[in-house]
């Protein structure tokens, strides 16, 4: 058991506002013991920049870091489905060792981008020929080792993927590595949780309604409920997906889920890009959460989530970097707000939805609240009992020069390039910086994949 430690920050984001001269006491178990504004620096490590809580990255496909920047050339019609075919080329090649190298690079980048926990929506279960590994956790443990090497918290979400589309008998050949059964993914989650590793936990994911039949969905959801695990599912990301669901089930995806699954606060619906007000109302009544991935949704041409229709009614949401074309939390928050401004031709949409004030504050608070639901962990910010995750911003960053303290968060989110992270702590411990050995292993993995 570690000893209690303490930090002292000139200003820190506490309960939705800046507090000053803040003493941050960390208990031996890595949670906050006390947060004391106007506190004493005696015996504490003095931090030299503003302090923000760590943010949960609620949706990650780590292996897709290997294609960031490699899918931006094309001709004719290019859309989500053509991108998916290119993404599968990486999925079919990557080895456990390469996945570990890529995930280690990614997780170090996420820490530097203000994330302290990542929810890994993991469906690369099998060997390159589609056969099961001798150890079913082969690929999962590559991700666990990457998280341990960097210090980031990891919620592993073994993902059920059974068929290529609505009504299909099974998977396409280029999806062979994804194959699983309700029993196999539940065993993976149980096995990861049984390891009892620090900062590592597991929940469960259902790839999508098109990829999982109703009986399997019900079986996995019931088991997850009994275990108290978070449940994640891709839903209503693309118009074609909505149309296919209508043709097969006679209902839209979220409409079907509301009628056939016992949604509750453990459910996290990823994307939910194409919704109706009635569907959002139903999700709110069920206390389910939405995971918004602004950079990926923009990169893939998905569309824009109805943020005011959700956040304006008190809906719970989190952010994820998904395909990792960007890896900074503030950039996801900025893109979330700017996508709303572009489609609505107004400003400060988050502030409007929240009832006024700072858009950056509403965005950060929303991401903090929803992140805990996504990870199934106490990660809600600088508050006693929550895990002691925090980032120290670069006090001398150009975007903060001459900035009044009360506007620092506004500048961090909306003045680009935003202030970088000078230091990050997870459960009170310093996270690993990106170093040459990690980058070299990543470069070698990329060369082997794409030579």
pLDDT tens string 284-299 = 999 999 999 999 999 9
Per-residue confidence at 82, pLDDT binned at 50, 70, 90?
Answer: confident
The residues near 47 (Cβ < 8 Å, ≥ 6 apart) are 7, 8, 9, 10, 392, 423
Pairing of strands 390-393, 51-53: antiparallel
- Can 271 be counted among the known catalytic residues? yes
Per-residue confidence at 81, pLDDT binned at 50, 70, 90?
Answer: confident
What's the helix, strand, coil split of the chain in %, to 5?
40, 20, 35
Q: Hey, which residues does 7 pair with through a beta bridge?
A: 24, 45
Per-residue confidence at 1, pLDDT binned at 50, 70, 90?
Answer: low
Q: Which of 293, 272, 284 is nearest to 118 (CA)?
A: 293
Domain ranges of the chain: 5-53+383-436, 55-375
3-state class (DSSP) for residue 107: helix
Cα distances from 448 to residues 99, 140, 303, 383, in angstroms, run 12, 21, 34, 45
Evaluate if residue 419 carries a pLDDT over 70.
yes
Q: Which of 179, 295, 280, 205 is nearest to 236 (CA)?
A: 280
Evaluate if residue 74 carries a pLDDT over 90.
no
Query: Who wins on pLDDT, 432 or 329?
Result: 329
Average pLDDT, the chain: 96
- CB distance 119 to 320 below 8 Å: yes
Q: What is the CATH number of domain 5-53+383-436?
A: 2.30.40.10
- % of the chain exceeding 70 in pLDDT: 100
- % of the chain exceeding 90 in pLDDT: 94
Evaluate if residue 433 carries a pLDDT over 90.
no
Q: Hey, which residues does 23 pair with through a beta bridge?
A: 8, 36
- If you average pLDDT over residues 192-201, what whole number do you get? 98
- If you average pLDDT over residues 73-96, what whole number do you get? 89
- If you average pLDDT over residues 382-391, what whole number do you get? 98
Catalytic residue among 125, 232, 234, 271: 271
Q: What is the CATH number of domain 55-375?
A: 3.20.20.140
What is the number of alpha carbons within 13 Å of residue 202 lying toward its C-beta? 25
Distance CA 419, CA 107 (A): 19
Catalytic residue among 322, 324, 389, 418: 322
Distance CA 157, CA 322 (A): 13
| C-alpha 438: how far from chain center | 22
Distance CA 244, CA 5 (A): 55
Evaluate if residue 412 carries a pLDDT over 90.
yes
- If you average pLDDT over residues 147-158, what whole number do you get? 98
Per-residue confidence at 3, pLDDT binned at 50, 70, 90?
Answer: confident
Comparing 177-181, 324-328, 418-422, which segment has the lowest mean pLDDT? 418-422
């Amino acid at each position: 058991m570690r000893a209690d430690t303490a930090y002292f920050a000139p200003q820190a984001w506490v309960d939705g506002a800046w507090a000053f001269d803040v003493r941050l006491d960390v208990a031996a178990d890595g949670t906050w013991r006390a947060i004391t504004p106007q506190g004493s620096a005696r015996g504490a490590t003095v931090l030299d920049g503003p302090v923000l809580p760590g943010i949960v990255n609620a949706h990650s496909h780590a292996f897709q870091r290997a294609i960031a920047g490699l899918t931006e050339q094309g001709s004719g019609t290019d859309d989500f489905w053509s991108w998916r075919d290119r993404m599968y080329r990486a999925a079919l090649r990557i080895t456990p060792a390469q996945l570990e190298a890529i995930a280690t690079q990614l997780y170090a980048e996420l820490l530097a981008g203000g994330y302290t926990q990542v929810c890994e929506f993991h469906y690369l279960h099998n060997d390159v020929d589609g056969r099961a590994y001798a150890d079913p956790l082969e690929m999962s443990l590559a991700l666990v080792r990457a998280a341990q090497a960097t210090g980031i918290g990891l919620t592993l979400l073994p993902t059920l993927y059974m068929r290529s589309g609505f009504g299909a008998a099974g998977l396409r050949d280029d999806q062979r590595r994804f194959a699983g059964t309700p029993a196999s993914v539940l065993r993976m989650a149980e096995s990861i949780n049984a390891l009892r590793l620090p900062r590592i936990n597991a929940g469960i994911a259902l790839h999508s309604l098109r990829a999982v039949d109703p009986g399997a969905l019900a079986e996995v959801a019931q088991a997850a409920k009994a275990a108290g695990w978070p449940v994640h599912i891709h839903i209503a990301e693309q118009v074609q997906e909505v149309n296919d669901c209508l043709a097969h089930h006679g209902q839209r995806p979220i409409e079907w889920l509301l009628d056939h699954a016992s949604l509750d606060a453990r459910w996290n619906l990823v994307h939910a890009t194409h919704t109706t007000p009635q569907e959002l109302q139903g999700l709110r009544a069920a206390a389910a959460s939405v995971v918004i991935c602004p950079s990926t949704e923009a990169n893939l041409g998905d569309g824009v989530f109805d943020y005011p229709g959700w956040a304006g009614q008190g809906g719970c949401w989190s952010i994820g970097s998904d395909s990792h074309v960007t890896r900074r939390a503030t950039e996801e928050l900025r893109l979330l707000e700017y996508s709303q401004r572009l489609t609505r031709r107004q400003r400060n949409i988050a502030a409007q939805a929240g009832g006024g004030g700072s858009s950056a504050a509403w965005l950060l608070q929303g991401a903090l609240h929803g992140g805990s639901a996504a990870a199934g962990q106490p990660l809600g910010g600088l508050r006693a009992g929550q895990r002691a995750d925090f980032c120290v911003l670069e006090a001398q960053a150009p975007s903060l020069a001459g900035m009044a303290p009360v506007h620092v968060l506004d500048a961090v989110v909306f003045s680009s390039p935003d202030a970088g992270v000078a230091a990050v702590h997870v459960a009170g411990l310093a996270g690993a910086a990106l170093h040459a050995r990690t980058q070299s292993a990543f470069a070698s993995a990329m060369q082997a994949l794409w030579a």
